[in-house]
Structure 1
């Protein structure tokens, strides 16, 4: 599994100098990795660069410079990097109004298990959600979930060959799909496959 190594991270001082340009690069990179599934669900498909940015930002925000703290951040974030046979995504459920968001998160319990990807000609692959910790309780689901989609070798090969990819949600209270995703997004995700 690809990992961000401790020695590859910038120091806080070096990151402060490089941050503006690095942030611009990452935001441009994310454009083809974000998929809006209906009006309220966004999936950001993670890779080494997006996770590296999150780690560098956490180190900066928390002013972490001691070795133990840096290693803890790497331990927390490295599992979000796809391993060559899967996609990993951060799912955000977005409602601007706080009261509406609270109500909808109650109605959307279990949505994290109803998110799917589908390679043309293959069955849907449903997400494996929140392997790090439970993000749902008796009343509601969380507004943020971490998802993993495991693909077969045939699916990976087909995507790299150029077949289409669709992404959707089929929860009883929220159904939406992007069929197919734009070619640039499909290409960006296919590049994650070994």
Structure 2
């Protein structure tokens, strides 16, 4: 997969023109690549489109047009684009009540490393989490994590051939499984792979 460059992004003026249509397309695309694992964990599987949207929105909101600022956004977000041998996801741990969220994030330390994907016929692949910086301390985990799932060549081949994809979390305080992601989601994720 290619990474985004300054030249591949729209300027702020151009983005203002393209934004309504691109935003509609990007939101639908993100919905297609979203998997809810139980009531409180969501994985948004990232790709070039989701990251392009994130960067363009950040530049828009922050009104960034200087080369250095644009490059900072590219450097922060490009690592979240799959490289053809893996799936990458943003993990969101969601508890609407602030008091409950604080307690659960203490109880769920390490949950990001107990999150997995499994191509039918193969073993689970546990996430490599937060390679950019630590999002967990001695007291609690974060409500947002960045995950990478490295797949073997056989797993990639079988996923692209249509073997079912399961996703789950097997943390002692949170155990949920999606036995088979929706076919349209699986097809979108398979497109990330070589």
Give the alignment's TM-score, normalised by structure 2. 0.99
Question: Unpaired segments of 5 or more residues in structure 1?
Answer: none
* Residues 55-83 of structure 1: per-residue CA shift (max 9 Å, x gap): 00111111110001111110111000000
Q: Which residue of 2 aligns with 1:32?
A: 32
* Residues 134-163 of structure 1: per-residue CA shift (max 9 Å, x gap): 000111100000000000000000011111
Q: Which residue of 1 aligns with 2:54?
A: 54
SS at match of 2:145: strand
Tell me if 1:2 matches 2:2. yes
* Residues 145-183 of structure 1: per-residue CA shift (max 9 Å, x gap): 000000000000001111100000000000001001111
Give the alignment's TM-score, normalised by structure 1. 0.99
CA RMSD for the aligned pairs?
0.7
Q: Which residue of 1 aligns with 2:144?
A: 144
* Residues 49-107 of structure 1: per-residue CA shift (max 9 Å, x gap): 00000000111111110001111110111000000010000000000000000000000
SS at match of 1:24: helix
Count of residues in Structure 1 that have an aligned counterpart in Structure 2: 194
SS at match of 1:17: helix
| Regions of 4+ moved over 2 Å | none
Tell me if 1:77 matches 2:77. yes
1:17, distance to aligned residue in structure 2 (A)? 1.7
SS at match of 1:95: coil
Tell me if 1:100 matches 2:100. yes
1:16, distance to aligned residue in structure 2 (A)? 1.3
SS at match of 2:32: coil
Q: Which residue of 2 aligns with 1:119?
A: 119
Q: Which residue of 2 aligns with 1:21?
A: 21
SS at match of 1:53: helix
For 2:188 and 2:68, locate their aligned partners in 1 and report how far apart those are by CA, in whole Å: 33
SS at match of 1:2: coil
